[in-house]
Amino acid sequence: MEIITTYYDRIMCDELVQHITQELDWLIPFVKRHESLDFQTGHDPKQNRSWFSIYRGTGRIFQVLFRKGKFAGYKAADKYMRLDEEFFSSPSPSLFEKYLSKIEAEKEFDRYYIATDGTHKEGYYQTLIGRRYTFNYQESDDFIIIDKEFVIGFKDEVIKTEWNKDIVYDQQKNITVLRSTYEGKLPKDIKAEYGEFDFLGLNKNGDILIMELKQDAPAKTALSPIQTAYYYKQLSKLLSGDNLLYEHIKTMVEQKINMGLISKSFLRYFPSKLSNKIIPCVIYGKDSKLSKSICERYCFVRDLFLPSMKAFTCDEKGTILTSKKLEG
């Protein structure tokens, strides 16, 4: 692929897909059997790098990496790899079970999934929702999650800065307006630009969903329209300038369906084109944890930055539900 300015191309190389489906044919069924685990896949055309990752909450515990179509190793952060070097040298289901039990026994990793006191962290819900709207998709659902923890790609940093310039300016302008008009308390520092999208979804109409997760973090939820507005503007700009976006999304989703990462039942509803409509969302924990002041702040910020933004909670199975407090 020739990279001109920006790109969204997360289609894994064929060699990686073959490695997963043949050399590690037990891996996908293994992850599906363990509710604490989920998948994340990707590709970076600029570096000619593809990966297949396993997450426990927000902790990446295993990654299969390919560079230029060649196997580049089984990876994870050092703190994980030190737990079981045998597993990373020659992965197997029994060794993965052993490795996973070691992770669960280490309090250091609780913050990525479930805290020692039993509190469900953001990573818990990320896994719950991620599984629910991929391989556990139901035909009554309107959408699937097609990607997680991703960023738009740029040819270089100069192009990235220039491309984002008008978006950042607009964000900064609205932050200034927010500080001068909102009478309540605001953080000292409010960022104008952000990194990774949490979830990217696609519905049956061809709409793209930006889904930002703020589980049980009221203060962050109140300001989430600022972050989501940044992603919304980025994706809107990409939609208007990338005529290959639909094909890249379609090929990526078909690849995941063929591997069993997304339910094949969505194929019959796959849109014939993108609608060019973007639906921005925040997903929060329980409505009961949202105070009146947090709800008022959220609505004020939403109306200024992104009036079309939707707010949801989720149940114990990961099904998202309209937030009665934030949408009421």
**What order of strands is seen across the sheet that includes strand 208-214?**
143-150, 197-203, 208-214, 278-284, 310-314, 320-322
Per DSSP, helices labelled H in the chain are 14-18, 27-33, 78-81, 85-89, 93-105, 122-132, 157-181, 218-241, 245-259, 292-305
**Reported pTM:** 0.95
On whether the CB atoms of residues 216 and 201 are closer than 8 A, the answer is: no
No. of helices (H) and no. of strands (E), the chain: 10, 12
pLDDT confidence of residue 3 = 52
On whether the CB atoms of residues 313 and 284 are closer than 8 A, the answer is: yes
On whether the CB atoms of residues 212 and 282 are closer than 8 A, the answer is: yes
- Kind of pairing, strands 278-284 and 208-214? parallel
pLDDT confidence of residue 2 = 52
Residue 136 DSSP symbol: T
pLDDT confidence of residue 286 = 84
CA–CA distance, 69 with 158 (Å, rounded to integer): 28
pLDDT per 10-residue tile (average), the chain, 328 residues: 74 98 99 98 94 98 98 98 98 99 96 92 95 98 96 92 97 99 95 96 98 89 97 96 93 98 98 98 90 95 98 95 92
